[in-house]
Amino acid sequence: MQKLSTKLTSRFAALLSAGVLALGIVFPLFPAKAQAASLTVAPRVSFTFDDGLLSSYTQAAPTLAKYGFKGVVYATSDCIGSVGTCPAEPAHEYMTWAQVNDLKNTYGWEIAAHTKTHPLLASTDPETQPNALTPTQVANELTQSRAAIKTNTGSDAQNFATPYGDWTPPVLANIAKYQASHRGFADTIDQDANGVIEHANVFPYSDYLLYDLQVQAGVSVATVKNYIDQSIAANHWLILTFHDVQPNASTDPDEYQYNTAELDQIAAYVKSKNAQVVTIEEGLVTNNGNLLPNASFDTALSSNTADMSVWSTDAPATIKQDTGNNGNYPSPQNSVSLTGTAANTHLYSPRVAVDASKRYIIKNYLSVSAISVAAGHEVAFYVEEYDAAGNMLLPIQYKKSETSVWTEYLNYEYIPSSANVAQVRMQIVVTANSGVKAILDNVQLFATDGSTTTNPGPVTPPVVIPPVTGKAGDINGDSKINAVDLSILLSNWNKSAARDKGDLSGDGKVSAVDLSILLSNWGK
């Protein structure tokens, strides 16, 4: 649900204008919200199984183990040990806690949460659930499920899937208080009219909306193989969702069964493709080395925006610390509330040191409960860059924005634009007259190689990081940034090219991003 705006930022426009006037050259009009090249990531596949059915233990686990794979069971805690009484699949038998433990300890599976009793969390059903759950009842389903799983298996069960895929943004905001991630069910990966995958899990993913592919009767092995092939080609994360796995599965899709032999064929195909198989916990992009202090906003904001050592705002009356338990896991008590006004307002992070040769991930929990649906109304995220002396480097990097009522982990990559970058600061903008009411929490900035933590461990997935060599803008390698470099860049304008042809950002194309890098270092 992230929409990209096409507006020019005034600072970028000023930079381009200055470059045109100084050099006496007419350039084409550039989009200002330029984004750096994407990281190269390993594709991955996850096998997930809902409810906690016995067949996850007797059929699925041995089948995956043949290929060295493990899976994830999203367990409905009250159903464990039951036969014919669970609302999820009343006619089926469920694992015992001993079998869930064996699934974890012998087969290496992740034990995740799927509520206590498998209710509709957002909707109603006239026969089975005529009344919608209150927020307190939703919270009880979440907390009691996790507690039961923790007591009986020792697993934290911090990852969650909604029963029936039934959620709304307010319900998801409630889920986010207690869970680290959310996998839907109705939120399916699908294909457009040309057979191309849509709604894929694209790095660095969206922790609170992990799309899945439902695999049950009527979904052929060939169809799943096609999704596997496309996901591998695009470096996406394909999450497969199964329920009951049986040697003689029902052919009725409403029974949510799948044939053991066909699961075997899918696993064999994934193995033949050398795709990385991960649990949900392994697939999420996480790292303990957050560079940003006070990231969960346990300390109030400063109104002194010149103090770059703390979180600050130019609108302390409408951008302020919220202590009402409206944030997200693992520390929901404190967060920041964002309320729109008649003017653009800003939240600034502390300025922190970065290494220009590294790449970074920035994660932001954002829950927008109100916003005016009109062009230009958004909560927008930027990264300001500074050199070692504290001088701002232009243009400011636009990253992402939210323009609708939504709950999400709004994650994005940050790649320093040049070798001159030594420090960065986040800038979060609430646009004028937008009617925004939102919560921001648990903002993270960390290096992809694990070097920002005292307990180094690489972020998942692994990334390919090209070295930064020479001055940013020195295309011909003569240690100067001048008209020769500009001429090379312009001769390859809008073409696919390498660095020695003008691709300074590493995104494979010579564009406004590369021109701005060159102009910002002109004459150095």
Q: What distance in Å separates the CA atoms of residue 178 and residue 383, rounded to the nearest whole number? A: 29
DSSP structural state of residue 39: P
Tally of CA atoms within 13 A in the half-sphere of 378 that contains its CB: 19
169, 143 contact by CB (below 8 A): no
378, 170 contact by CB (below 8 A): no
Which residues have C-beta within 8 Å of that of residue 280, sequence separation ≥ 6?
A: 46, 48, 72, 110, 112, 159, 181, 183, 210, 239
Listed in order, the ranges of the chain carrying CATH 2.60.120.260 are: 287-463
Listed in order, the ranges of the chain carrying CATH 3.20.20.370 are: 42-283
Provide the residue type at 177 as one letter.
K
Q: What distance in Å separates the CA atoms of residue 187 and residue 100, rounded to the nearest whole number? A: 27
Does domain 287-463 sit in CATH 2.60.120.260?
yes
Which residues have C-beta within 8 Å of that of residue 513, sequence separation ≥ 6?
A: 34, 35, 36, 417, 504, 505, 507
86: its two tokens: 């669970």
In 247-288 the beta strands, taken as DSSP E runs, fall at: 257-259, 276-277
49, 60 contact by CB (below 8 A): yes
Q: How far is CA 335 from CA 138, 301, 329, 331, 367, in A?
A: 21, 10, 11, 9, 11
Tokens 């426009």, residue located: 13
pLDDT tens over the chain, length 524 residues: 222 222 222 222 322 333 322 333 322 222 233 333 444 578 999 999 999 999 999 999 999 999 999 999 999 999 999 988 888 777 789 999 999 999 999 999 999 999 999 999 999 999 999 999 999 999 999 999 999 999 999 999 999 999 999 999 999 999 999 999 999 998 888 888 888 888 899 999 999 999 999 999 999 999 999 999 999 999 999 999 999 999 999 999 999 999 999 999 999 999 999 999 999 999 999 987 899 999 999 999 999 999 999 999 999 999 999 999 999 999 999 999 999 999 999 999 999 999 999 999 999 999 999 999 888 999 999 999 999 999 999 999 999 999 999 999 999 999 999 999 999 999 999 999 999 999 999 999 999 888 876 443 334 433 333 333 345 677 876 667 888 878 887 888 877 666 667 777 655 677 777 787 778 778 77
Architecture of domain 42-283: Alpha-Beta Barrel (3.20)
Q: What is the pTM of this model?
A: 0.80
In 323-458 the beta strands, taken as DSSP E runs, fall at: 335-339, 345-348, 352-353, 360-370, 379-386, 392-402, 406-414, 423-430, 437-447
